[in-house]
């Protein structure tokens, strides 16, 4: 069976470097197999651009399996595109119609400056993690760590929070460019486990302060972050982080 193909008009954000601001450039994507992923479609465009002696479109990617959190662009106004719980690398062209015009932009947030085209600098997330998103308590060898019992409820909640891949879609989706879903997921996944409790107070205080310093906005319960999170991280993580923060601030 031959794969179905479609033709699209792409309006892609092109920007050479941090400054000056870029602009949209129009490309025609011809004979795109609907079995392709969105990133494979961009690969096809880039091959043609290279053949034409032009600069290919810069975009981030690594695993292309929805695991690493590297990919991401705003497609038709939605981070990672129109599908729920799907990263851009796992979005397939069968979800577009022949003749569609597709608008592709980078994440838009003060804390994520554009490096080039669709690539943004997400090192602000690394700074938040470095501020407290780890456990430094000694837990011994693997066998010793397995001797620390973790309740089923806490283990499930920690596991759900640990699904965050740090892609930044939550920030891109939020009208305040808030990173609270990301930080909340990290605070929960570490703080719910017995190994993470000794550092819970300093962790939440330092991560929240770092997030504020780096220019991320506050949460005003828009819930866009939860809706566009490819890993379905719940805004309950934000509520849990707020409770931890208040407790830590007054103790
Ligand atoms: S490239 Fe790894 S999640 Fe998309």
Here the CATH number for the domain that contains residue 55 is 3.10.20.30
Q: How far apart are the C-alpha atoms of 8 and 28, rounded to whole Å?
A: 6
Mutate to test the pocket of ligand 1, among 38, 43, 64 (most ligand atoms within 8 A of CB): 64
Last residue of a domain, one of 116, 145, 177: 116
Same domain, 20 and 80: yes
Q: How far apart are the C-alpha atoms of 22 and 20, rounded to whole Å?
A: 6
Same domain, 215 and 129: yes
Same domain, 129 and 86: no
Last residue of a domain, one of 116, 135, 169: 116
Instruction: From the CA of 90, give the closest atom in ligand 1.
Output: 4
Same domain, 166 and 212: yes
Same domain, 48 and 129: no
HEC secondary structure over 132-147: HCCCCCCCCCHHHHHH
Looking at residue 2, its pLDDT comes to 57
Nearest CA to ligand 1 atom 3: 66
Same domain, 73 and 182: no
Please give all residues whose beta carbon lies within 6 A of any atom in ligand 1, as ranges: 61-64, 66-71, 87, 89
Same domain, 128 and 240: yes
Instruction: Give this prediction's pTM.
Output: 0.94
Same domain, 85 and 195: no
Q: How many domains does the chain have?
A: 2
Looking at residue 199, its pLDDT comes to 94
Q: How far apart are the C-alpha atoms of 168 and 120, rounded to whole Å?
A: 10
Instruction: From the CA of 63, give the closest atom in ligand 1.
Output: 2
Q: Find the domain containing 210 and state its range.
A: 123-249
Looking at residue 143, its pLDDT comes to 72
Instruction: From the CA of 88, give the closest atom in ligand 1.
Output: 4
CATH number at residue 214: 1.10.1060.10
Q: How far is the CA of 118 from the centre of ligand 1 (A)?
A: 14
Q: How far is the CA of 122 from the centre of ligand 1 (A)?
A: 14
Last residue of a domain, one of 116, 134, 167: 116
Per DSSP, the residues of 133-191 read -S--S---SHHHHHHS---HHHHHHHHHHHT----SHHHHHSTT-B-HHHHHHHHHHHH
C-alpha angle 221/203/198, rounded to 5°? 125
Q: How far is the CA of 228 from the centre of ligand 1 (A)?
A: 15
Q: How far is the CA of 89 from the centre of ligand 1 (A)?
A: 6
Query: Is 25:19 a contact under the CB 8 Å cutoff?
Result: no
- Report helix, strand or coil for 40: helix
Same domain, 127 and 244: yes
Q: How far is the CA of 66 from the centre of ligand 1 (A)?
A: 4
Q: How far is the CA of 29 from the centre of ligand 1 (A)?
A: 22
Q: Which of 122, 222, 107 lies closest to 166, judged by CA?
A: 122
Q: How far is the CA of 71 from the centre of ligand 1 (A)?
A: 5
Instruction: From the CA of 68, give the closest atom in ligand 1.
Output: 2
Q: What average pLDDT values come out for the chain (251 residues) when binned by 10 residues?
A: 86 95 97 97 98 98 97 98 98 97 97 97 98 86 78 95 98 98 97 92 97 96 97 97 96 82
Q: Which of 178, 158, 157 lies closest to 169, judged by CA?
A: 178
**Residue 169, C-beta contacts closer than 8 angstroms, at least 6 positions apart:** 72, 79, 80, 107, 225, 228, 229, 230
Same domain, 134 and 234: yes
Same domain, 132 and 151: yes
Q: How far is the CA of 207 from the centre of ligand 1 (A)?
A: 25
Instruction: From the CA of 60, give the closest atom in ligand 1.
Output: 1
Looking at residue 137, its pLDDT comes to 79
Mutate to test the pocket of ligand 1, among 43, 59, 70, 72 (most ligand atoms within 8 A of CB): 70
Same domain, 62 and 80: yes
């Amino acid at each position: 069976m031959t794969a179905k193909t479609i033709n699209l008009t792409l309006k892609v954000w092109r920007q050479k470097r941090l400054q000056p601001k870029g602009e949209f450039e129009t490309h025609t994507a011809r004979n795109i197999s609907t079995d392709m992923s969105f990133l494979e479609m961009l690969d096809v465009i880039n091959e043609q651009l290279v053949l034409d002696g032009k600069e290919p479109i810069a975009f981030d990617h690594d695993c292309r399996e929805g695991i690493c959190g590297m990919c991401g662009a705003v497609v038709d106004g939605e981070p990672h595109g129109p599908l729920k719980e799907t990263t851009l690398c796992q979005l397939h062209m069968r979800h577009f119609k022949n003749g569609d015009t597709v608008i592709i932009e980078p994440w838009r947030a003060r804390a994520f400056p554009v490096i080039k085209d669709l690539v943004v600098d997400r090192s602000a997330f690394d700074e938040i993690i470095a501020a407290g998103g780890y456990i430094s308590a000694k837990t011994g060898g693997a066998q010793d760590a397995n001797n620390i019992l973790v309740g089923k409820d806490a283990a499930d909640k920690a596991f759900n929070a640990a699904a965050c891949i740090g892609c930044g879609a939550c920030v891109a989706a939020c009208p305040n460019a808030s990173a609270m879903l990301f930080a909340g997921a990290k605070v929960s996944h570490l703080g719910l486990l017995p190994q993470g409790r000794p550092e819970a107070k300093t962790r939440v205080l330092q991560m929240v302060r770092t997030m504020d310093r780096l220019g991320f906005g506050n949460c005003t319960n828009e819930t866009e972050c939860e809706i566009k999170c490819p890993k379905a991280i719940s805004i309950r993580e934000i509520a849990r982080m707020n409770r931890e923060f208040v407790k830590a601030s007054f103790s």
